[in-house]
């Protein structure tokens, strides 16, 4: 089964969206990342047009699989603060928890797995 959800990689300030999540969103070019701070929920909505609140999804093929990611140091730093982990921290993986509708994926930032830290030299 293909992984779903997202990973936050603090060593290079990026968020990886797993293939199943991108499929659930309809493979958009841009996404909105909306936070419900009190509940610590991240809502992800796809969109095809860029506006002031979108993040561009970049994709590349790596080892035969498409990888989707966004890069934004300020947002990644803010997520670390909201989640309650130091910045920089080990990488975190979050499972897609709920689809509220056919356009929105919800990630519970309270539930995560720690991925071992590795530097770019180890890649």
Please indicate, yes or no, if residue 26 is contained in any of the structural domains.
yes
Please indicate, yes or no, if residue 18 is contained in any of the structural domains.
yes
The 8-class DSSP code of residue 6 comes to E
Please indicate, yes or no, if residue 47 is contained in any of the structural domains.
yes
Please indicate, yes or no, if residue 4 is contained in any of the structural domains.
no
Q: How far apart are CA 14 and CA 7, in angstroms?
A: 8
Please indicate, yes or no, if residue 36 is contained in any of the structural domains.
yes
Please indicate, yes or no, if residue 6 is contained in any of the structural domains.
no
Q: Using CA atoms of 106, 107, 110, 112 in order, give the dihedral in degrees to the nearest 10.
A: 160
Question: For every one of its 123 residues, what pLDDT tens digit does the chain have, with 9 covering 90 and above?
Answer: 567 899 999 999 999 999 999 998 999 999 999 999 999 999 999 998 999 999 999 999 988 889 999 999 999 999 999 999 999 999 999 998 767 677 899 999 999 999 875 544 444
pLDDT at 117: 59
- Give the number of domains in the chain: 1
Query: In the chain, what are the helix, strand and coil shares in percent, each to the nearest 5?
Result: 15, 40, 40
The 8-class DSSP code of residue 23 comes to H
Cis peptide before 88 (omega within 30 of 0): yes
The structure's pTM equals 0.86
Residue 87's domain comprises: 13-113
């Amino acid at each position: 089964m293909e992984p779903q959800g997202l990973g936050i990689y603090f060593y290079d300030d990026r968020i990886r969206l797993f293939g199943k999540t991108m499929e659930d969103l309809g493979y958009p070019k841009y996404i909105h990342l909306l936070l419900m701070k009190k509940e610590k929920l991240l809502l992800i909505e796809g969109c095809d047009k860029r506006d002031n609140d979108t993040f561009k999804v970049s994709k590349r093929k790596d080892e035969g699989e498409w990888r989707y990611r966004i890069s934004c140091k300020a947002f990644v730093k803010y997520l670390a603060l909201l989640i309650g982990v130091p910045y920089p921290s080990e990488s975190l993986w979050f499972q897609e928890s709920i689809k509220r509708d056919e356009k929105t994926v919800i990630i519970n930032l309270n539930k995560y797995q720690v991925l071992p830290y590795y530097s770019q030299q180890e890649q």
